[in-house]
């Protein structure tokens, strides 16, 4: 266990006074250990006595024992650790696993607690192998620092150390490289002794420099003697170990030499015997021929009874097969086949066998092969009806399997004899076990294909019925296999797994054939059934609980077939969308040409059924796709949104055609229909957003393509809504523009024509229809209408239709368009709206008082200040706007107006960031 000593653990000796280590009694059983008695009764037997003063109490004991009880405890703990730690670690891992059921983890915990606690690695302590000290260890040598220092420190003044080391090193010189060997052999012992003496003198002189150190001379001597004794013990141990190794090597060499001599002697004897072998073969030729004849006679005598009774045995076999007594029939058949095979084998052994003899023998036994086929047909009929027979007559199946297993053993024996003799009997190997599973596969295929009771012409739900019957049949048959077939079939058949694989294979083949005959929503029906195959309705049924991955089964349908079904279904979806959406637009256009107003919803808003119909179609396809998987939902949703975008374009084209035809011959129902179209666009947008939120929360759509498609749909209907509102505005301004064009004229200023009253009456007339707009559309219409009115009204004022010659006219002109601006602003406010927040914003009519200030200005020297105020509030006002406004004043020189305005505008930094009403006003030059 340490330098200079060897320990042997002996089991079977119990110390007096009870158990040696009572903490380790009643432990679980472990693997057997050589010896008798308790495993944990341990003592140490010294193999070689080595005197060493550094070892405590060594000379006072007859044999080396443990340094102390702690070392004994640590040794016993290591024995426990080596036996129980792997098992304890496995149980600990099971207990900590969150993937396993709680009952398994609790059982592992209980079993782990029953094992010794000393099987844990932190119960082990690395101790010094000499002193049993647990701290301050030199791990490489398994010694404490005190023991290690005692081994290394030696007296350099003692020349005997150098001589001992030289002798030890010399024993290894022969095995060293040449250069190192030369260096060691060239060492001068006398020189080394002189150097050691000089070193010792210096060391002693350093130690005895003070008088008080002379008192410690005896102490120094004892310390040096202890160190010397320790090193001598180490050197002796090293030398003894080396000598033991050399002695053992010499013994092995001597033994090997003796073995080599014996082998050479044996080989020489074999070489001397070889020349006799050819002559021996010639001498034994006659014996071999007689032996072959004798074996043929023996085979003929043994089969003589069968040879004469072949016709009778054949008839008995046929009668037994006809009476379903298969075991007796197989016994007769086995006798016939053995008789035939023995005779054919004897013919095969002859060196020059006549082919006619073999043919004659085969012809005589020709009925045997027919009997084998007839018996096989009876067995295959029983195997084909296995699922029915195991429930009613399991003995029949057991009989058939016994016969098949006997044939398998005969096949194995025939193959083994063929490897050594090259003879294979006629009809072997039969491989009836392999044929069993082929028959079962054929029966399962017929059973699955035979439950299709309808076709598409007889019943549109034929596929649903067929798949449901198949599901029930699948579950019932596998229940029979797991409950009734297992006791009947041999264990090595592994019948449950084999039948599961056969059903899976046959079902996969049948579904692939069906996939080529489907159409319409039948693709989704099949995909949904395949998706549920691994769930609790089929493989995961409570009575089955099969796991496809654990059983090593491939997918029910290969990925290319699933992809093909998916693509065909998606193609059908696209075809349906094209037809349905085209018909929807055609019906919508037909309703526009009618004489009835659109219907109102619960909130009294005009709306047609088009949005509801379209999104019912989309939702129907999505609900069907949800029954398959989320990936299909994603693809169907993207296709739906693509076709909805195309529908928006077609819808837009139809609306534009309807608008053009209306403006050629105006129809009183145009405004209600256009309001319904505008509300439809808003409904489309809202439903699209709802779909996006629903499937975003469902996490079935995460890619950028879907986001792009949704944005395209929303933007398409937003644009169509804007165009529809534009058509409404165009309709109203066909009447309003005629009146607005009169603003700014002489008749208008003198109130000879009622412009503003006509405009208000027209607006009120249209507003009665606009009440059927949805709030968001009404808000948008109000903003656009207000801007359009303000734009037209301000443009009419700036058209320079008259010259304001004096201050009185300018004041009348200004007051009039300010008052009418307020009237128009109030008229627009009557439109139903929810724009409460918009009321606080500036109205486009708010610029009219500022324009009036420029016209009413008496002191032209203040013109720059007025213009600056106007520009600050409306930074997008342009030079031509101010020139046109100031051009109404006759008191300003026309030639200087533009120059003065440009000079004033040059003082300001114009910007296009702020868009007001003046950004929309364009004046003709």
Cβ(886)–Cβ(892) below 8 Å: yes
Would you list the domain boundaries of the chain? 69-138, 196-272, 279-430, 580-731
Q: How confident is the model at residue 840 (pLDDT cuts 50, 70, 90)?
A: very low
CA 8, distance to chain mean position in Å, is 56
* Ramachandran class of 50: left when φ > 0, alpha when ψ lies in -120 to 50, beta otherwise: beta
> Residue 306: its pLDDT value, please?
61
Residue 674 has pLDDT above 60, yes or no: yes
> Residue 893: its pLDDT value, please?
57
- Give the span between the Cα atoms of 59 and 65, in whole angstroms: 12
Over residues 863-898, the pLDDT tens digits come to 778 888 888 888 888 888 888 888 787 777 555 777
> Residue 883: its pLDDT value, please?
80
Between 190 and 91, the more confident residue is 91
Q: Is 804 helix (H, G, I), strand (E, B) or coil?
A: strand
> Residue 12: its pLDDT value, please?
33
- Contact residues for 280 (Cβ-Cβ < 8 A; gap 6+): none
What fold is seen in the domain 580-731?
Tetracycline Repressor; domain 2 (1.10.357)
Helix (H) or strand (E) run with residue 43 in it: strand 42-44
- Give the span between the Cα atoms of 740 and 817, in whole angstroms: 12
- Give the span between the Cα atoms of 414 and 406, in whole angstroms: 12
Per-chain mean pLDDT for the chain: 78
- Give the span between the Cα atoms of 814 and 802, in whole angstroms: 13
Angle at 290 (CA atoms; ends 289, 291), nearest 5 degrees: 90
Question: Token pair for residue 856?
Answer: 């009413």
> Residue 16: its pLDDT value, please?
37
Q: What is the mean pLDDT of residues 266-294?
A: 78
The DSSP secondary structure of 646-664, one letter per residue, reads HHHHHHHHHHHHHHHHHHH
Residue 508 has pLDDT above 80, yes or no: yes
Residue 14 has pLDDT above 60, yes or no: no
- Contact residues for 649 (Cβ-Cβ < 8 A; gap 6+): 716
Residue 22 has pLDDT above 60, yes or no: no
Same fold yes or no, 69-138 and 580-731 = no
- What's the burial of 666, exposed, middle or buried (CB within 10 Å: 0-12/13-18/19+)? exposed
Highest mean pLDDT among 11-15, 216-220, 299-303: 216-220
Q: How confident is the model at residue 909 (pLDDT cuts 50, 70, 90)?
A: low
Strand-pair partners of 787? none
Other Cβ atoms within 10 Å of 354 Cβ, number: 10
CA 904, distance to chain mean position in Å, is 73
Over residues 325-366, the pLDDT tens digits come to 888 988 888 888 888 887 788 777 776 666 776 777 777 788
Q: What is the mean pLDDT of residues 496-505?
A: 89
Q: What is the mean pLDDT of residues 612-631?
A: 82
Highest mean pLDDT among 619-623, 819-823, 902-906: 819-823
Cβ(41)–Cβ(20) below 8 Å: yes
Q: What is the mean pLDDT of residues 251-257?
A: 88
Q: How far is CA 373 from CA 222, 361, 368, 427, 511, in A?
A: 103, 19, 9, 10, 34
Question: Token pair for residue 364?
Answer: 């005589």
Residue 576 has pLDDT above 80, yes or no: yes
CA dihedral 777, 780, 781, 785 (to 10 degrees): 180
Helix (H) or strand (E) run with residue 837 in it: none
Between 154 and 827, the more confident residue is 827
Tell me the backbone φ, ψ of residue 138, rounded to 5 degrees. -95, 100
Over residues 682-717, the pLDDT tens digits come to 888 888 888 777 776 445 455 677 778 888 888 888
By DSSP bridging, strand 9-11 and strand 42-44 are antiparallel
The correct CATH number of 69-138 out of 1.10.287.1480, 1.10.3860.10, 3.20.20.70, 2.70.70.10 is 1.10.287.1480
Over residues 385-418, the pLDDT tens digits come to 888 888 888 888 899 999 999 999 999 998 888 8
């Amino acid at each position: 266990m340490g330098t200079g000593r060897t320990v042997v653990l002996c089991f079977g000796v119990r110390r007096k006074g009870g158990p040696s280590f009572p903490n380790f009694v009643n432990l679980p059983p472990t693997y057997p250990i050589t010896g008798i008695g308790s495993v944990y009764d341990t003592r140490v037997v010294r193999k070689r006595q080595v005197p060493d003063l550094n070892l405590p109490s060594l000379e006072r004991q007859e044999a080396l024992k443990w340094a102390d009880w702690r070392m004994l405890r640590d040794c016993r703990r290591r024995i426990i650790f080596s036996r129980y730690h792997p098992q304890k670690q496995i149980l600990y891992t099971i207990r900590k696993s969150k993937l396993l059921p709680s009952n398994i983890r609790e059982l592992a915990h209980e079993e782990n607690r029953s094992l010794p606690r000393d099987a844990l690695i932190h119960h082990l302590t690395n101790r010094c192998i000499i002193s049993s000290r647990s701290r301050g260890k030199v791990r490489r040598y398994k010694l404490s620092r005190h023991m290690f220092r005692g081994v290394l420190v030696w007296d350099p003044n003692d020349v005997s150390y150098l001589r001992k080391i030289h002798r030890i090193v010399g024993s290894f010189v022969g095995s060293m490289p040449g250069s190192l060997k030369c260096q060691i052999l060239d060492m001068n012992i006398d020189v080394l002794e002189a150097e050691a003496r000089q070193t010792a003198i210096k060391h002693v002189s350093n130690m005895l420099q003070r008088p008080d150190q002379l008192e410690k001379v005896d102490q120094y001597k004892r310390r040096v003697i202890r160190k010397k004794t320790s090193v001598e013990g180490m050197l002796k141990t090293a030398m003894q170990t080396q000598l033991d190794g050399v002695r053992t090597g010499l013994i092995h060499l001597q033994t090997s030499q003796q073995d080599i001599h014996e082998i050479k002697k044996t080989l020489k004897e074999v070489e001397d015997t070889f020349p006799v072998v050819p002559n021996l073969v010639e001498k034994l030729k006659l014996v071999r021929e007689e032996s072959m004849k004798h074996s043929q006679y023996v085979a003929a005598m043994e089969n003589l009874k069968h040879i004469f009774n072949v016709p009778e045995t054949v008839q008995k076999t046929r009668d037994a097969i006809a009476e379903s007594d298969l075991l007796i029939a197989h016994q007769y058949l086995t006798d016939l086949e053995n008789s035939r095979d023995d005779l054919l084998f004897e013919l095969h052994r002859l060196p020059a066998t006549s082919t006619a003899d073999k043919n004659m023998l085969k012809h005589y036994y020709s009925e045997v092969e027919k009997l084998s086929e007839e018996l096989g047909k009876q067995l295959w009929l029983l195997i084909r009806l296995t699922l029915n027979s195991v429930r009613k007559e399991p003995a029949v199946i057991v009989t058939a399997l016994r016969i098949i297993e006997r044939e398998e053993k005969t096949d194995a024996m025939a193959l083994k004899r063929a490897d050594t003799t090259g003879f294979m009997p006629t009809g072997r190997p039969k491989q009836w076990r392999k044929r069993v599973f082929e028959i079962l596969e054929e029966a399962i295929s017929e059973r699955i294909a035979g439950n299709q009771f309808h076709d598409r012409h007889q019943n549109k739900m034929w596929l649903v019925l067929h798949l449901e019957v198949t599901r029930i049949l699948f579950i019932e048959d596998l229940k029979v296999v797991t409950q009734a077939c297992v006791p009947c079939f041999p264990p090595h058949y592994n019948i449950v797994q084999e039948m599961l694989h056969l059903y899976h294979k046959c079902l996969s083949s049948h579904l692939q054939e069906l996939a080529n005959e489907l159409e319409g929503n039948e693709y989704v029906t099949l995909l949904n059934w395949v998706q549920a195959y691994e769930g609790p309705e089929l493989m995961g049924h409570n009575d089955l609980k099969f796991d496809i991955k654990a059983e090593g089964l491939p997918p029910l349908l290969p990925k290319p077939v699933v992809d093909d079904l998916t693509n065909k279904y998606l193609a059908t979806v696209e075809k349906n969308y094209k037809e349905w959406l085209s018909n929807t637009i055609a019906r919508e256009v037909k309703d526009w040409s009618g004489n009835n107003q659109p219907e109102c919803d619960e909130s009294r808003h005009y709306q047609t059924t088009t949005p509801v119909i379209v999104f019912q179609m989309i939702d129907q396809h999505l609900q069907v796709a949800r029954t398959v998987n989320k990936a299909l939902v994603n693809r169907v949703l993207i296709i739906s949104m693509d076709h909805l975008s195309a529908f928006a374009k077609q819808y837009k084209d139809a609306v534009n055609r309807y608008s053009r035809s209306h403006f050629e011959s105006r129809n009183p129902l145009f405004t209600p229909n256009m309001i319904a179209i505008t509300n439809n666009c808003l409904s489309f947008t809202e439903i699209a957003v709802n779909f996006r939120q629903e499937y975003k929360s469902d996490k079935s759509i995460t890619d950028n393509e879907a986001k792009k498609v949704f944005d395209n749909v929303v933007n398409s209907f937003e644009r169509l809504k804007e165009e529809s509102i534009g058509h409404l505005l165009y309709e109203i301004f066909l009447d309003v523009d005629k009146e607005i064009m009169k603003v700014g004229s002489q008749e208008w200023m003198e109130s000879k024509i009622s412009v503003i009253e006509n405009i208000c009456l027209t607006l009120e007339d249209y507003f009665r229809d606009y009440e059927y707009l949805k709030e968001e559309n009404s808000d948008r219409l109000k903003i656009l209408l207000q801007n359009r009115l303000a734009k037209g009204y301000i443009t009419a004022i700036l058209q320079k239709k008259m010259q304001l010659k004096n201050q009185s006219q300018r004041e009348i002109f200004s007051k009039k368009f300010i008052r009418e601006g307020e009237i128009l602003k109030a008229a627009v406010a009557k439109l139903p709206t929810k724009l409460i927040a918009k009321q606080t914003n500036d109205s486009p009519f708010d610029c009219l008082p500022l324009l009036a200030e420029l016209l009413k200005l008496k002191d032209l020297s203040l013109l720059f200040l007025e213009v600056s105020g106007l520009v600050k509030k409306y930074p997008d006002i342009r030079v031509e706007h101010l020139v046109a406004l100031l051009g109404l004043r006759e008191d300003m020189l026309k030639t200087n107006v533009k120059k003065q305005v440009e000079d004033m505008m040059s003082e300001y930094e114009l910007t296009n960031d702020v868009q007001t009403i003046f950004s929309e006003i364009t004046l003709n030059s």
